[in-house]
Amino acid sequence: MLDIKLVRENPEVFEKKIRSKVPDASVYPSLELDKRLREAKTEVERLKAEKNRVSQEIGKLKRNGEDASDLMTQVSSHSDEINKLDHLVSELEEQFIEDFSALPNVPSDDIPVSQEIKDNVCLKEVGEKSSFSFPFKNHLELNEKLDILDFKRGAKMSGTGFPVYKGLGARLEWALLSYMLQIHIKNGFEQWMMPHLVRPEMMYGVGQLPKFESQLFKIKDDDYQLYLIPTAEAPLNSLYFDEILDFSELPKKLTAYSPCFRREAGAAGSQERGLIRVHQFNKVELFCFSLPEESDRLFDEMIASAEEVLEGLGLHYRNMLLVTGDMSFGSAKTVDIEVWLPGQDRYYEVSSVSNCTDYQARRAKIRFRRGPQEKPEFLHTLNGSGVATSRLMVALLENNQNSDGSVNIPKVLQPYLDGLETIPCIN
């Protein structure tokens, strides 16, 4: 959530920044609600003070045996007005929070302003696209030879978008997760294991609710109202919900594996088949709680840790600075890391690293104190994929294929697979 005090002081600046991200968004309806809310609260306080003053006068009159009926009528009138205004304040507060929390985080000053994905800026490219001396296959065609994925049985059990990994497919997936966690732990990230279901207020704190309600899987019955996490970012951000951390505890660099669940996974077109876009996938998340003055440095560290994963696997990738219109709702700055998938003839994102500044911290009420006598401040949160395995699996299969359909296993993964060097053809 934005800082309402700053928005009041600089409405034109915030309006411009927000519209650069979401063209039809505006701070002014929220500012109008904020004005009405503050006026109503001021009037309530005035009436309560007047009621207290009159009540004291009534007490004096009664102690002196004098008639206080007129003043008592006045107090009763004040009470009615106060009750009405208290109800109005509650309504305005609810409406203000709903409207204000629907405004996205503002982009940093160095972000290119555009609504076009084509304007994303390539910061770097590493390696070269794979070349083949034979007609290469996409990952679905390779799977016909390898038999390591079962999409039909996954669809039978859960519907489309829920793939089944089998045999060496399951082992390769687990090897990827173990390899990634090992790198991030080496780079100073502490491993956590998080719940895969969280309460609505936690999803609000991370910025998923209310805006992305329709994109979430949820459980709602007489006993539970919980959401399946779309990423481990949700529970990691919730760890210190409504807490005040000490200055000495920061930064906190965390990593966690989780399955991820997203309703919006369905997509049209042959290029989106298989593992490219699914409802359930695996991911290793990177997350940081940071002092405001250190978040830029940690942002670079998170990107570097995700890059190390891809470099070890020998994959060609590029880093893209997202323009304002392509950034996520809560982000102030985002860099996507995209790998080349020859079977799709295009780049696909496997990691997205974002600095959310104090936006999530305000929603989740996560603060820190620089000293015992210092006023609490909102910290910064950062999140990033370290990385998502479904498209990474596609990249490994398609970039390491042989003419017979077998696939070479990168050396860094072989120790997790008992030294196996190749996934052989079965069919």
List residues with catalytic annotation: 262, 277, 349, 352, 391
Q: How far apart are CA 387 and CA 172, in angstroms?
A: 15
Encoded tokens for 52: 């207290």
Q: How far is CA 374 from the centre of its chain?
A: 30
Distances (CA, A) of 165 to 169, 265, 299, 330, 417: 5, 18, 33, 33, 15
Q: Determine contact, residues 389/173, Cβ cutoff 8 Å.
A: yes
According to DSSP, the residues that pair with 380 across neighbouring strands are 290
| H-state helical runs in 277-317 | 295-313
Q: Determine contact, residues 288/382, Cβ cutoff 8 Å.
A: yes
Encoded tokens for 75: 């107090």
Beta strands in 230-307 (DSSP E): 244-246, 252-261, 280-290
Number of residues that this document lists for the chain: 427
Q: How far apart are CA 282 and CA 189, in angstroms?
A: 19
Q: How far apart are CA 240 and CA 366, in angstroms?
A: 6
Helix (H) or strand (E) holding 377: strand 377-378
Residue whose tokens read 């200055």: 247
DSSP-assigned letter for residue 22: S
| Phi, psi for residue 243 in degrees, rounded to 5 | -125, 160
Q: How far apart are CA 276 and CA 392, in angstroms?
A: 9
Q: What share of the chain is helix, strand, coil (3-state, %, to 5)?
A: 45, 20, 35
Closest alpha carbon to 229 in 191, 253, 255, 257: 257
CB neighbour burial string for 133-168, b if at least 16 within 10 angstroms, e if fewer: eeebbbbbbbbebbebbbbeebeeeeeebbbbbeeb
DSSP 3-state of 177: helix
DSSP-assigned letter for residue 115: S
